[in-house]
């Protein structure tokens, strides 16, 4: 019973992660310029990684490996927005213009 | 559960190949860096899932942790390098 509940919760969390990975990928491919693409991947990937790692940690259960997976989840939750911020600041400093309505897609 | 994990792993591989379009054709170096970061994130999850699939997750977890660190450091280093390059 407990085993089955664990598996179901893990499957739901991993499917949620896969959904957000898919939306982030679609955003990265379809949005018109660099900053809006970062808007898609920065938030979508962070949420997707956290959800997937939480699901895998639930599936593993309480052990050293499970705790290591949680450590990776916390690290990614801090590191992914930092990396996104660094790239977007570099873009601003390199004078990339944000896309306005009516511009052509780059 | 094994079939489910295999399906999710293959779906993530397909998504990573789709992101590869942005790496190859993306205009400018910034789009490429963002796309490579996204691919690294997906690879992290794929590694863990295949660790579970083969039943040797305690080996794959360390590879995955190192991959996360390298992805973050590479991304920040490339951003800093481009910033410095521009200011000179």
A92 touching chain B per CB within 8 A: no
Residue span of the structural domain in which A53 resides = 2-93
Q: Which residue of B lies nearest to A80 if distances are taken between CA atoms?
A: B72
The verdict on residue A100 lying in a domain is no
Q: What's the domain count of chain A?
A: 1
Alpha carbon A10 to chain centroid distance?
A: 17
Give chain A's radius of gyration (CA, Å). 17
In angstroms, what separates the C-alpha of B66 from chain A's closest C-alpha?
A: 10
Band the pLDDT of A99: cuts 50, 70, 90. confident
The verdict on residue A75 lying in a domain is yes
pLDDT, position A100: 80
> Higher-confidence residue: B4 or A97?
B4
The verdict on residue A104 lying in a domain is no
Q: Is the pLDDT of residue A39 over 80?
A: yes
The verdict on residue A98 lying in a domain is no
Nearest to B58 by CA among B69, B70, B45, B48: B48
Q: Answer for the pair A45, A81: CB distance below 8 angstroms, yes or no.
A: no
Q: What is the pLDDT of residues B61-71, one digit of tens each?
A: 999 999 999 99
The verdict on residue A70 lying in a domain is yes
Q: What is the pLDDT of residues B7-36, one digit of tens each?
A: 999 999 999 999 999 899 878 888 999 999
Complex-level ipTM beyond the 0.90 threshold: no
Q: Is the pLDDT of residue A106 over 70?
A: no
d(CA B11, CA A86): 29
**Partners of residue B44 in chain A, C-beta under 8 Å:** 49, 72, 76
């Amino acid at each position: 019973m407990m085993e089955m509940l664990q598996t179901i919760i893990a499957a739901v969390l991993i499917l949620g992660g896969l959904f957000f990975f898919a939306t982030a990928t679609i955003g990265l491919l379809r949005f018109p310029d660099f900053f809006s693409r970062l808007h898609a991947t920065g938030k979508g990937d962070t949420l997707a990684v956290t959800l997937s790692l939480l699901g895998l940690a639930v599936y593993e259960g309480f052990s050293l490996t499970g705790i290591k997976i949680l450590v990776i989840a916390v690290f990614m939750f801090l590191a992914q927005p930092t990396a996104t911020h660094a790239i977007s600041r570099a873009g601003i400093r390199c004078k990339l213009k944000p896309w306005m309505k009516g511009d052509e897609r780059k | 559960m094994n079939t489910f994990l295999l399906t999710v792993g293959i779906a993530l591989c397909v998504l990573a190949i789709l992101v590869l379009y942005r790496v190859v054709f993306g205009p400018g170096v910034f789009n490429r860096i963002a796309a490579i970061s996204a691919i690294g994130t997906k690879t992290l999850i794929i590694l863990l899932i295949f660790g579970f699939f083969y039943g040797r997750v305690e080996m794959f977890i360390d590879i995955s942790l190192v991959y996360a660190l390298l992805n973050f450091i590479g991304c920040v280093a490339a951003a800093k390098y481009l910033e410095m390059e521009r200011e000179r």
